Amino acid sequence: MFYDRNEAAIKLANKLLPYKGRHPLVLGIPRGAVPMAKVIAEQLNGDCDVVLVRKLRAPYSPELAIGSIDENGWTYIASIASAVGADEAYIAHEKKIQMETIQQRRKQYTPVHTPLNPTGRIVIVVDDGLATGATMIAALYSLIKKDPAKLICAVPVAPADTLNKINRLVDQVVCLEVPENFQSVGQFYEHFPQVEDAEVKAILQSTQVTGKTDNHDTYVI
């Protein structure tokens, strides 16, 4: 469906052209979506930054998300969590692991790029695709608290049931493809390499900014 993330980003940017010249803030979910956010920000004459969130992995099935957490500790728990064996003790341990990763990334990224403030701005949150949508939900919820002028989710591909969850949290969803047979994000790319921290840092180093975050709570959809 897409050759690579760059092609997907260009196609998304074409759908987001109404925001060109309106100084949007384009936020990529690390690491895979950050190169896409850069392409979209350049196409729209906006700013590029990251929103730091991590999925909470299911026991014995790390690719399956049972929820997500943002860098302030706000946690989303999916309804499937208990069904796949994620009890309170497991979730507490998994949250600790993922918060450590978020904190490590913040330490790496902030010295090369001060976080931008989304308050009062058109904010476009980008990922390279949604499966359960867990990380996107945490990203959006963390931004809702900062009162953006408009909040948009932009992804190349996602299943319909996931988009229904996301629709409730944003002003607009831009999704290029909504396939019926959805197994993983990677199946819709011909070329889908892992994005490394060095690439993310290089992208952030090429931009400039200022801003911050807040609050802790749990939200179940």
pTM (2 decimals)? 0.91
> What angle, rounded to 10 degrees, do the helices at 160-167 and 134-144 form?
10
What DSSP element (H or E) covers 143? helix 134-144
Residues 6+ apart with CB under 8 A from 34: 28, 48, 50, 195, 199, 200, 203, 204
Q: Is the pLDDT of residue 8 over 60?
A: yes
**HEC-encoded secondary structure of 98-125:** HHHHHHHHHHHHHHHCCCCCCCCCEEEE
pLDDT for residue 216: 35
Task: Domain ranges for the chain, please list them.
Answer: 5-52+113-209
145 confidence band (pLDDT: 50, 70, 90)? very high
The hierarchical CATH code for the domain 5-52+113-209 is 3.40.50.2020
Predicted confidence band of residue 215 (pLDDT cuts 50, 70, 90): very low
The pLDDT tens digits of the residues spanning 23-52 come to 999 999 999 999 999 999 999 999 999 999
Query: Could you give the count of Cα atoms lying within 13 Å of 52 in the half-sphere of its Cβ?
Result: 23
Which pLDDT score, from 0 to 100, does residue 1 have? Answer: 87
Q: What's the pLDDT tens digit per position in 155-191?
A: 999 999 999 999 999 999 999 999 999 999 999 999 9
Can you give the pLDDT at residue 86?
Answer: 97
Tokens of 106: 């913040």
Distance CA 60, CA 204 (A): 34
The span from the CA of 43 to the CA of 21, in Å, is 10
